[in-house]
Amino acid sequence: MANTDIEPLESGPALQGWTYPGVIILTSVAMMVVMALDIIVTGDIGLVSNIGLVVVGIIGAIKVRTADYQAGIWVVPIAWVIALLTTGQLAPMRGGSFMREQVLHLAYGLAMHAWWILGATALSASIAIFRRGRRP
């Protein structure tokens, strides 16, 4: 019997696209830009950031490598929290001391936008899982 070696393809469909860390970094940076524009234009974190979160999640789920499809599932909440903790600090939040302001800002930013975060996560997860299932 002949001994054959099967070598993996270097540029197979599962290895084309953004890597796991690449998806997290690129979508987080994009979300920070969207949130900054929302704060500059409207003065608060609102509808522009929410719609931007959905768009960023969809793009991340479409561009991720199918081998790293899990990143498409987790990218939305991670990008939102990173943007909220960095760029979101520019939004006004009055709560007393600095520590209390930060706690209120994080809690308010997560609670008031929870349905958008959950919806965008479900949408990006379904796209990433669907793409993974259709992989050749």
Q: What is the pLDDT of residue 37?
A: 95
Cα–Cα distance measured from residue 94 to residue 89, given in angstroms and rounded to the nearest whole number: 11
| 38, HSE (Cβ side, Cα atoms, 13 Å) | 23
Q: Would the pLDDT of 71 be above 70?
A: yes
Stated pTM of the model = 0.82
Q: What is the pLDDT of residue 91?
A: 81
* Rounded mean pLDDT, 123-136: 82
88: closest CA among 121, 50, 116? 50
Residue that is written with structure tokens 């993996």 in the block: 8
78: closest CA among 50, 108, 57, 103? 57
pLDDT in tens, 10-45: 555 556 788 889 999 999 999 999 999 999 999 889
* Rounded mean pLDDT, 111-116: 94
If you average pLDDT over every residue of the chain, what do you get?
A: 86
Cα–Cα distance measured from residue 133 to residue 92, given in angstroms and rounded to the nearest whole number: 44
Provide the token pair at 28. 């987080």
Q: What is the pLDDT of residue 72?
A: 87
